[in-house]
Structures are given as structure tokens and as C-alpha cells.
Amino acid sequence: MIFTDFTKALSQMTDRRFLRVLLFGIALTVALLFGIYALFLAAISSLDADSLTLPIIGEVTWVKDLLGWGSLALMLILSFFLMIPVASAFTGLFLEDVAKAVEQKHYPYLTPTPRIPFSETLVDTLNFLGVLIGANILAVFLYMVLNIFSPLAFWAINGYLLGREYFQMAAMRRLGRVKAKALAKQHRFEVWIAGILMTVPLTIPLVNLLVPVLAAATFTHMFQRLEGGSK
């Protein structure tokens, strides 16, 4: 059943509404990362001292060059670790468009739902981003202990978080927040497994950028199936 939901979602990935959300999320993410880097460079340029005097070593005249190259290295590292959660956050602001595209194609008999207020979507997206980043930072220590088994922990932790968030997003449009959480809890094991299925592509460069849109579509199908909405 889960794989049916997944394959239905995958078959619609060329939908122009899917692609619009995907490209918009990536563009905003890249713009944010470049903006942060520009602020780093501006801060470095504002330094008055071109040199620094250190004990024993003496005067160091390449401070700005060091900071410049260091900021580039830092930006590359941040891009590697933050690209996916940040892209997920930006894309999450528009995932309702993905859910509507799924319903219009596969469940045209459903009545339209009012759009969730942007402010509410923004708060949920930021909360999810914070939880996702925080959980993975804390899990770094677990990954170090598990060694070669760390990918399993990564899939389990992120699968739980992704599954819960995206299923509740799909269900909330039709049931409201309280009932959506209750339904997610009722089917938590199946939601978790589906979340793991979404998490596996996160380890594949470029493919991982498709995950937010693919997850939104997959869990929309899952919600309809569990609620008896599919035919």
C-alpha cells in the first residue's frame, strides 16, 4: 500500500505545479545561502586591521585572506548540511499546492478546501525546520557511536520526523490540526515506514531536493487511502 502511494506520487513529478514548487524552493534556498555569504564577506571587509600581532609569531598580514577563504569553506560546509532542511522549509510553504494538484488529478470528487493561512503555515514550517536541525545535531553523537550503522539511525530519526510532519500536513487540510495529529498517532507505524522511504533519497545528492515535493504527494495519497478517499 505504501509503495502504491509512492509510485502514484512519483508518476506525477513532471506536473508543472510540482516543478514550480520545487524550483521556487531551491531558488529561495540558494538566494538565502548567497545572502548569508555576502554578509560574511561584508563583515570581513569592514575589519579595520589588515594584520594581527600574535605572541611569539609576531605580525600576521594575511588575516583578511585567511578569513575570506575560511568563510568560503564554512559556506560550503553549511550548504552541505543545511541545503536540504532549508529547501524543505521553503518548499514547505507551498506544499499545499502539491496536495491540491494530487487531489485534482486522482480525487476530483473531493470538495475544495480553504487555503491554510500563510502565517500558520510559516509557523509550522519554522517549527519543523528547528526540530529537524536540532534532532540531527543531537543525533551526531549517536551516529559516531553506531559507526557503520549510522545510516540506519539517520533513516529512522528523519523518517519519523518527516513522516509525522508531512502526514499531518496532508490530513490537517481536511480534518483540522487536532484530528490530524490523532490520525497520525493511530497510524504511526505506517507513517513512520513511509517517512523512512522518503528519507532514503536524502542521502543521494540532487535527488534529495525532490524529497519535500515527493513526500507531500505521497502522504496526500496515504491520507486519502486511510480515510477511504481513494477509488
pLDDT at 223 over 90: yes
- Residue written as grid cell 490523532: 182
How do residues 69-103 score in pLDDT, each as one tens digit?
A: 555 566 665 555 566 666 666 667 778 889 999 99
In this predicted structure, what is the pLDDT of residue 167?
92
Burial class (CB in 10 A: 0-12, 13-18, 19+), 229: middle
Would you place residue 204 in the very low, low, confident or very high pLDDT band (cuts 50, 70, 90)?
Answer: confident
Percent of the chain whose predicted confidence (pLDDT) is above 70: 74
In this predicted structure, what is the pLDDT of residue 59?
47
In this predicted structure, what is the pLDDT of residue 20?
87
pLDDT at 143 over 90: no
- The per-residue pLDDT of the chain, averaged, comes to 77
In this predicted structure, what is the pLDDT of residue 198?
85
Q: Which of 59-63, 73-77, 118-122, 142-146 has the lowest mean pLDDT?
A: 59-63
Distances in Å between the alpha carbon of 206 and those of 87, 201, 210? 12, 9, 8
In this predicted structure, what is the pLDDT of residue 182?
92
Query: In the chain, where are the structural domains located?
Result: 2-226
CB 183 within 8 A of CB 175: yes
Q: Which of 30-39, 55-64, 221-230 has the lowest mean pLDDT?
A: 55-64
pTM of the model: 0.75
Higher pLDDT, 28 or 65: 28
Would you place residue 218 in the very low, low, confident or very high pLDDT band (cuts 50, 70, 90)?
Answer: very high
Closest to 166 in 3D by CA, of 131, 117, 128, 134: 128
Would you place residue 46 in the very low, low, confident or very high pLDDT band (cuts 50, 70, 90)?
Answer: low
pLDDT at 4 over 60: yes
Q: Where are the beta strands (DSSP E) in the chain?
A: 52-54, 58-60
In this predicted structure, what is the pLDDT of residue 230?
45
How do residues 150-194 score in pLDDT, each as one tens digit?
A: 778 888 888 898 888 889 888 988 898 899 999 999 999 999 999
